[in-house]
Chain A
Amino acid sequence: QSALTQPASVSGSPGQSITISCTGTSSDVGGYNFVSWYQQHPGKVPKLRIYEVSNRPSGVPDRFSGSKSGNTASLTISGLQAEDEADYYCNSYTSSSTWVFGGGTKLTVL
């Protein structure tokens, strides 16, 4: 199972919106609505931000949103804040009853 494909880095200014893509195949992202997104600050434990493509766990700001089209899922962060600067990972269920992460995207807030 190959890792899902994410851009290595994205950047945006405070207040702007950014989108991070996550491309897989019909055997993972495209085949199931079981895509989750994680935020990880340096040296910290990952935090779940989105599950089942577009659902936010309790306590996650509504600035975070998720969507999916075909084999590509996306995470959008609107109203960018300095604290959003972190690494972001997508994760998808697969046809092998396993999960697979993306390679990660470093978000820089300019």
Chain B
Amino acid sequence: QVQLMQSGAEVKKPGASVKVSCKASGYTFTGYFMHWVRQAPGQGLEWMGWINPNNDGTHYAQKFQGRVTMTRDPSISTAYMELSRLRSDDTAVYYCARDLLSTGSGGPGYWGQGTLVTVSS
């Protein structure tokens, strides 16, 4: 079965960077896009971007352009999301989520457990 295991909670200071990992299992890692979604406390879901693990192609939401970098290592079936120049309003749970379909048209279908990133001085 599809499983996505994310790295543990992080506490960062404003201005720092954070890198969250997402290890996939139960399917062919390079066959499906990986989305990254975040949710601030008490707020809604916010799509950040996605990566094609087959060719490293990425698309980011305009809001995060210049601050987010999504990468992958197919040899260990792991995707990464790095967010730089952190601010207090980046405090949120960050999710990786595999697209439901190999075509990339299904949207986030299988979700990791989430990683809480807290930004505080």
Q: Considering only CB atoms and an 8 Å cut-off, how many residues of chain B contact the other chain?
A: 25
Residues of A within 8 A of B112 (CB): 45
Chain B residues within an 8 Å CB radius of A101: 37, 44-47
Ordered by A's residue number, 17 sampled pairs between the chains whose C-beta atoms are within 8 Å are A1-B61, A1-B62, A34-B107, A45-B113, A45-B114, A46-B37, A46-B108, A48-B106, A48-B107, A48-B109, A51-B101, A51-B107, A91-B47, A98-B47, A98-B49, A99-B108, A101-B45
A51 to chain B, nearest CB (A): 4
A99-B50, A99-B107 in contact; A89/B45 too (CB < 8 A)? yes
Q: Which residues in window 23-50 of B have CB below 8 A to A? A: 35, 37, 44-47, 49-50
> Is A65 among interface residues, defined by CB-CB distance under 8 A?
no
Q: With the chains together, A52 CA to B101 CA distance in Å?
A: 10
Residues of B within 8 A of A12 (CB): none
Interface residue A64 (Cβ < 8 Å from any Cβ of B): no
A48 to B100, CA, bound (A): 9
What's the tally of chain A residues with a CB closer than 8 Å to chain B? 26
Known: A46-B45, A51-B100, A101-B45. A57 touches B109 (CB 8 A): yes
Q: Tell me if A31 is interfacial: C-beta within 8 Å of chain B.
A: no
Q: Which of B79-111 contact A (CB under 8 A)?
A: 95, 100-101, 105-109, 111
B107 touches A91 (CB 8 A): yes
Nearest B residue to A45 by beta-carbon distance? B111
**Please, how many angstroms separate the alpha-carbon atoms of A52 and B107 in the complex?**
8
| Docked pose: A57 CA to B63 CA in angstroms | 30
Task: Pick from A51, A96, A98: contact of B106, CB below 8 A.
Answer: A51
In the A-B complex, list the 8 residue pairs whose CB atoms are closest, starting with the nearest. Answer: A36-B107, A104-B44, A51-B106, A101-B45, A97-B59, A99-B47, A45-B111, A34-B105
Q: Is the CB of A93 within 8 A of B105?
A: yes
Contacts of A103 in B (CB 8 A): 44
A18 at the interface (CB under 8 A from B): no
Shortest Cβ gap from B91 to chain A (Å): 16
